């Protein structure tokens, strides 16, 4: 990857305001250069790069204000937008509002009605082929597309999403719904809700999670800015930098798993001691995400930290495949391969074995303990 060439390309973009340098803008917004570089280092670490890339990232972010972003809401709950708003240090929300040109986002934008529709149309026209498209929510598709209409012309959501995809430079499906269909696509999927990738021929990067953490949403935009290409993806088109490891791999309770110390029921003595949650249904061994490392809400907590097992929310069709959420997967684990194809090419057979091994381990160690 030639970073210097990419940076030159970024620099060749027309500046929105040649007079305002990033440093002066940051200063006006109450950030020091130091804060900013600290943030860039954190981002470098998060993207799996060495800290020598921090200045490169800083430069890339500096240029990011020229990146128009269109965010669409389809069949969704707005949880992903809420997660975006939680973006953190140093006050990333302000960075987003100031340095990414957020052309359309229904939860935040001031315009309504005809004016809002015009904003979308103008943005797609003005930034044709250059904008980043982020889509939240699944899409009622085909003969069921009438389950979502928008605007005075009652356009189908599917039609709007397709159009926006056609003219985007990069497309991110934000959240479990947009990536894989999510809750509304769970059986019996009464609205024929589809993932974004099923309604467009363009490449879609999936950023699943219900919702994905604020870091996974923002980090992907930065990844695009930095590389100018799509990030390395796993079998489900999830960026490897975020979804490469299993929850189980870096779990803070892993030691208890290895020691055969399990919570047998919520609220028991093991729960008070932070034992492994596998036997009360944790899906961490089958789920690929960086929650164990980055947690949520500025590292405040995460499901396993709060004593509840992982429900597998960044895996395809997890609503149908991972339940009941408070019981181990056991025999019904492999009714679908959804959770089993992995970024690091572990085949289904291997992970099946892993799954069985985990189950066997839990049983054996429990016998030992009890």
Residues 178-237 touching other proteins, rule: CB under 8 A, are: 182-184, 186-193, 210-211, 213
- For other proteins, the binding residue among 17, 52, 201, 331 (CB under 8 A) is 17
Contacts 24+ apart (CB under 8 A), 305-311: 305/252, 307/263, 307/266, 307/271, 307/274, 307/277, 308/266, 308/277, 309/277, 309/278, 309/280, 309/281, 309/282, 309/283, 309/284, 310/247, 310/277, 310/282, 310/283, 310/284, 311/281, 311/283
Diameter over CA atoms, the chain? 71
Q: Does 286 bind other proteins (CB under 8 A)?
A: no
Of the candidates 183, 222, 185, the one whose C-alpha atom is nearest the C-alpha of residue 205 is 222
Among 41, 56, 264, 298, binds other proteins (CB under 8 A): 298
Please state the closest distance from residue 304 (CB atom) to other proteins, in A: 8
If the CB atoms of residues 54 and 263 are measured against other proteins, the closer one turns out to be 263
Nearer to other proteins, 54 or 173 (CB): 173
What angle is formed at CA 165 by the lines to CA 72 and CA 65, rounded to 5 degrees? 65
Question: By CB under 8 A, is residue 319 in contact with other proteins?
Answer: yes
| Cβ-based nearer residue to other proteins, 90 or 233 | 90
The answer to whether 328 contacts other proteins (rule: CB under 8 A) is no
Which own/partner pairs from 359-362 qualify as long-range (CB within 8 Å, at least 24 positions apart)? Answer: 359/328, 359/329, 359/330, 361/257, 361/260, 362/260, 362/262, 362/278, 362/279, 362/328
Contacts with other proteins: how many residues (CB under 8 A)?
92
Question: Which of residues 8, 9, 21, 28 is near other proteins by CB under 8 A?
Answer: 28
Q: Retrieve residue 80's tokens.
A: 């992903």
Is the Cβ of residue 231 or residue 270 nearer to other proteins in the bound state?
270
- DSSP string of 221-265, one letter each residue: HHHHHHHSSPPPB-TTS-BHHHHSSBGGGG-TTHHHHHTT-B--S
Could you tell me the smallest distance in angstroms from the CB atom of residue 120 to other proteins?
A: 10
Q: How far is the CB of 317 from other proteins (least distance, A)?
A: 12
Residue 228 CA to residue 356 CA, distance in Å, equals 41
Give the other-Cβ count within 10 Å of 334's Cβ: 16
3-state secondary structure at position 6: helix
Question: Which x/- pattern over 142-181 shows residues binding other proteins (rule: CB under 8 A)?
Answer: --x-xxxxxxxxx--x------------------------
Closer by beta carbon to other proteins, 83 or else 290: 83
Binding span for other proteins by CB under 8 A among 1-9, 43-51, 54-62, 292-300: 292-300
Least CB distance to other proteins at residue 78 (A):
5
Question: Would you give the binding string for other proteins spanning residues 72-111, x where CB under 8 A is met?
Answer: -x-xxxxxxxxx-xx-x--x-xx--xx--xxx-xxxxxxx
141 lies in the site for other proteins, by CB under 8 A: no
Does residue 14 belong to the site contacting other proteins (CB under 8 A)?
no
Q: Rounded distance, CA 71 to CA 82, Å?
A: 13
Phi/psi for 73 (5° steps) reads -105, 120
Q: For other proteins, which is the closer residue by CB, 175 or 231?
A: 175
20 contributes a contact to other proteins by CB under 8 A:
yes
Using the minimum distance from each CB to other proteins, give the nearer residue, 249 or 327: 327
In terms of CB distance, is 62 or 351 closer to other proteins? 62
């Amino acid at each position: 990857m030639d970073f210097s060439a990419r940076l030159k390309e970024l620099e060749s973009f027309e500046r929105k305001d040649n007079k305002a340098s990033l440093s002066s803008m940051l200063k006006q917004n109450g950030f020091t250069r130091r804060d900013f570089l600290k943030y860039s280092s954190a981002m470098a670490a998060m993207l799996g790069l060495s800290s020598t890339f921090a200045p490169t990232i800083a430069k890339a972010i500096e240029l990011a204000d020229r990146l128009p972003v269109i965010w669409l809401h389809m069949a969704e709950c707005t949880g992903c937008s809420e997660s975006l708003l939680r973006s953190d240090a140093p006050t990333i929300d302000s960075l987003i509002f100031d340095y990414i040109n957020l052309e359309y986002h229904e939860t935040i934008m001031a315009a309504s009605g005809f004016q809002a529709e015009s904003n979308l149309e103008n943005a797609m026209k003005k930034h044709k082929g250059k904008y980043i498209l982020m889509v939240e929510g699944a899409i009622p598709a085909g003969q069921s597309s009438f389950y979502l209409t928008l605007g005075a012309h009652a356009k189908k959501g599917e039609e709007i999403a397709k159009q926006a995809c056609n003219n985007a430079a990069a497309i991110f499906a934000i959240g479990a719904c947009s990536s894989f269909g999510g809750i509304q696509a769970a059986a019996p999927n009464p609205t024929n809700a589809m993932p974004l990738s099923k309604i467009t021929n363009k490449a879609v990067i999936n950023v699943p999670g219900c919702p994905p953490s604020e870091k996974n949403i923002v980090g992907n935009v930065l990844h695009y800015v930095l590389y100018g290409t799509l990030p390395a993806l796993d079998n489900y088109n999830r960026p490897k930098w975020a979804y490469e490891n299993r929850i189980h791999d870096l779990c803070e309770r892993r030691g208890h798993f290895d020691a055969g110390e399990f919570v047998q029921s919520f609220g028991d003595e093991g729960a008070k001691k932070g034992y492994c949650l596998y036997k009360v249904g944790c899906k961490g061994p089958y789920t690929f995400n960086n929650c164990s490392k980055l947690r949520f809400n500025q590292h405040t907590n995460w499901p396993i930290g709060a004593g509840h097992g992982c429900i597998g929310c960044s895996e395809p069709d997890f609503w149908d495949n991972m339940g009941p959420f408070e019981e181990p997967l056991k025999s019904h684990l492999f009714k679908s391969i959804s959770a089993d194809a992995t970024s690091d090419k572990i085949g289904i057979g291997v992970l099946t074995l892993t799954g069985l091994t985990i189950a066997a381990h839990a049983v054996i160690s429990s016998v030992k303990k009890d």
